[in-house]
Every structure is written in structure tokens, then in C-alpha cells.
Structure 1
Amino acid sequence: MAEMKFKDRLVDLSKEKGVTLRKVAISIGIGVSTLSNYINSNREPMSSIVILLADYFNVTTDYMLGISDKRKQLELTDFTVEDLMKEIIRRCSNG
């Protein structure tokens, strides 16, 4: 996993979504200068801000923080019952 920092994720996700950092800040209800401080590593975001940003970009907080490269957690609705049964059997036979 390539180590990405919060500020890198923030900039990359903004570019990917085609929004300015100003638009991001306004959308989540923080000041543009606050967001700039995160990007310039002058401040660390509070967990509530990380959650707001993750929701805004539709990614996990772990992805937002650079802890994981998985953008979204899989949900049970993403699988059929057959897929789930195969996975359960696979995991049980490996243990």
C-alpha cells in the first residue's frame, strides 16, 4: 500500500470530483482557511471533519486518512447469498 497522507487524499479526491477546495470547504461547513491549513499541514483535522469529508467524497475515513487504499467498505447487499456462502466455506476451510 502506498502511503498517502490526508492532505494528498484531500487534494486528489477534490481533483477527481472536479471541485475546488473552496467548494469542498463550503459544502461541509468549514472555512476555506481551515481546509488550507489541513493541506499545508499546519493543522490536523478533528475526527468530525474527517467524517464529513469522507461522506462528501463517498469514501471511508480510513481511505481519507491514508490508512487504507479501499475506498468503500463492502456491504452485504453487494453480494448474492451464493457468494456469501462460498466465502464462508472458503474461510472455514482455511482455518
Structure 2
Amino acid sequence: MSNRLRELRNEQGLTLKELGEKTGLAPNTISQYETGNREPKLKTWQKLADYFDVTVPYIQGVSDVKKDFSKERNPFEKWIKSIAAGTTENGDVIVDTEVWKKEMASFGVNMTMQDFKNISSAIVTEAGFSLDEVEKFDTDFLPKINDVKDMNEISRITRSIFKISVLACLGDEKAKNYLATIDNLISSYLGIDYFEDLWGDYSLKDPFSEN
């Protein structure tokens, strides 16, 4: 199936020029995307999907599920109900096997892309980088991550390091040892944290504490 970009654009009554103005893409480029003569990078697909408030697999034409459930409290539960053909007497959802095979992969892709987007956005914009560094990551580096498997691996490792860091700060000795090894590897590659000597025994004071 061809992508749904033209369909979504027409639903909103937008010309190529108007959509280009709203997304920062050249009208001619959008036209090539619509006809399939040019394939957008994943980041561009995400930008277009965000604008139309749909999932990337939906706008690509590989999924029939329009809604993005990644921000829901129970995304899998909400998603599976959306593809269900009905329910049993016990309330269990009934899903066609072929629909499951098609939509499960698309659900996984969308969740991975949203996870990567949220993690990268939080780190790149809040890590104390200069404006030039943020722009370089956003325009030069992140768009080159164009494989969902790579996105998943980056997100998985980032979450794991965060978890180890929290456990180490809570006193887990095993986590402390692993974190020290990870920190040494990072420092040897990126350089020593220049704030390290400034922290000392600094700690946040609870503004509601009576002490």
C-alpha cells in the first residue's frame, strides 16, 4: 500500500505549499514523498505523523491503527482493544491472527520511535550542551539514526544506565561497582565531568522540612 500522506493532507484541505509551511518541508519534496519517488528519513516521517496526530506506521501505510497509544497509561491494553474483532463472554478480546501479525510489528515500531524521541529530546536539550551542540545533534546526528533497531538499542542502553545510576545512589554496592566502570569508560572517551569538583557535599534541601 502507498503511504497516506496525500490522503491526510487532503483531509485537512491543505495544499503542498501550506503543509510545507507548517512542517518546514519544501512543497516539491512533500510531493515526491506522496508519490513514493522519494523516501523520507524516519525523523521526517515522525515530524509528519506528529503534525497529523497519527502514528508513523499509519502514515507510511503499513498499519490501519491511526491513534498513537504510546502516551496512554496502559498502551498495550488500549492498542489491542483498538484492533480487536470483538470480545468473548469472559471479556477477553478476540483478535484476527492476520491482523495481529500485521499490527503487532507496527505497534512495536511506533513505541520504539516514541521512546527514542522522548529519551533523545530529554537528554540533548537538558544535558547542559551549548546551543550549537544541541543544534548539531538535532540536525546532524539524530537524523542519521534511521533504523528502528538502532533506536531501540540506544534507548535500552540509556534506560539501563539510568537504572544502575539510581540503584548506585541508593547504596547498591554491585550497582556502584558497575557504575564506576561505566563512568571510567565514558570519561576516557568524552572527558572528565568538569562539574565534578564543584558538587562536594551539596544536596537539595527539602523546602517543606522543619529542619
**TM-score, length basis structure 2:** 0.33
Query: Equivalent of 1:76, from 55, 61, 73?
Result: 73
Structure 1 pair 90/67, CA: closer, same or farther in 2 (3 Å)? Answer: same
Given that 2:2 and 2:36 are in contact with CA atoms closer than 8 Å, whether structure 1 keeps it comes out as no
For residues 30-89 of structure 1, the C-alpha deviation after alignment (integer angstroms, 9 at most, x for no partner) is 11111111123221111111001000100000101111101013323899xxxxxxxxx8
How is 1:1-95 mapped onto 2 (pairs within 5 angstroms)?
4-6=1-3, 9-74=4-69, 75-76=72-73, 90=92
Secondary structure of the corresponding residue to residue 45 of structure 1: coil
Q: Distance in 2 between matches of 1:61 and 1:23?
A: 21
| Structure 1 unaligned spans of 5+ | 80-88
Partners of 1:73 and 1:41 lie apart in 2 by 24
Q: How many residues matched?
A: 77
Identity %: 38
Which whole-Å CA distance do the structure 1 matches of 2:51 and 2:18 have between them? 11
Structure exhibiting the larger radius of gyration computed from Cα positions:
2
RMSD: 2.4
**Partners of 1:35 and 1:22 in 2: how far apart?**
9
1 CA distance for matches of 2:17 and 2:38? 17
C-alpha separation between the residues in 1 aligned to 2:26 and 2:65? 28
C-alpha separation in 2, matches of 1:18 and 1:77 = 34
- Cα distance in 2, alignment partners of residues 40 and 67 from structure 1: 16
Q: Which amino acid aligns with 2:65?
A: K
2:53 maps to a residue whose letter is N
Counterpart CA distance in 1 for 2:63 and 2:44 is 18
TM-score computed with the length of structure 1 as normaliser? 0.69
Q: Which moved more, 1:57-66 or 1:17-26?
A: 17-26
